[in-house]
Every structure is written in structure tokens, then in C-alpha cells.
Amino acid sequence: QSEKELQDVVKQQEEKMLQLIDKSGEVTMLKEEVSQLKRSLQRAETEAKVLWEEMRGKEPTVDTAHVQDRVLLRQEVGKLRLLLLEKRDEKRLLYDKY
């Protein structure tokens, strides 16, 4: 009988572990989604900043190619900053781990 109880306990623990693994996967997916939304927001904010800078004090006729180039450059700078922050976080996690 105690063997049967032990098997039941082991089975319950396995089920709990599977649930935790499922939840962990969900958390990972949600974190990735949040990261994507942050990048989209940052991209939109960058475009708005560039357009605001270009439009401030200018006539209605704006060189769109120039504005697009500035937007792309700002986006690249934003990507590089984000990459730097991610690498710093990874480095900090490795230091904490070891």
C-alpha cells in the first residue's frame, strides 16, 4: 500500500512539474511578445521624433528621402542601444550565475 501511495505522490509531482514547464513556456512567449511590442513602440517613437525635428521650423515641402534616411539611422541607433542593453543583461546574468 505504501508503494502505491509513493507512486501516486511521484505521479502528482510529475504532473506539477509538467504544469510548471507549461507555465514557463507561456512566460517565455509573453516576454518575447513584450519585447516585440517594446521594439515596435520604440520604432514609432523614433519616427515621430525624426518627423517632429524635420517639421519644426520648416516649410510644408520636406525632402522625404532625407526624412526616411534619418528615420532609418535613428532606428539603427535604437537597435544598437537595445543590443547593448541586452548584452549587458546577459553579462550580468552570467556574473550572477557564476
Mean pLDDT, all residues of the chain = 82
Where is 59: in which H helix or E strand?
Answer: none
Tell me the C-alpha distance between 41 and 61, whole Å.
27
Cα→Cα distances 90→21, 29, 48, 86, Å: 22, 18, 30, 6
33-60 confidence digits (pLDDT tens): 888 888 888 878 887 887 777 777 666 5
- Per the document, the length of the chain is 98
Q: What is the reported pLDDT for 38? A: 85
pTM: 0.46
The angle at the Cα of 85, spanning 97 to 33, to the nearest 5 degrees, equals: 90
Judged against a pLDDT cut of 70, whether residue 17 lies above it is answered with yes
Question: What H or E segment, with its residue span, contains residue 91?
Answer: helix 64-97
What gap in Å lies between CA 13 and CA 26, rounded to an integer? Answer: 20
Give 43's DSSP letter: H
Per-residue confidence (pLDDT) for residue 57, from 0 to 100: 67
What angle, rounded to 10 degrees, do the helices at 2-55 and 64-97 form?
150
> Is the predicted pLDDT of residue 67 greater than 80, yes or no?
no
* Mean pLDDT, residues 71-95 taken together: 84
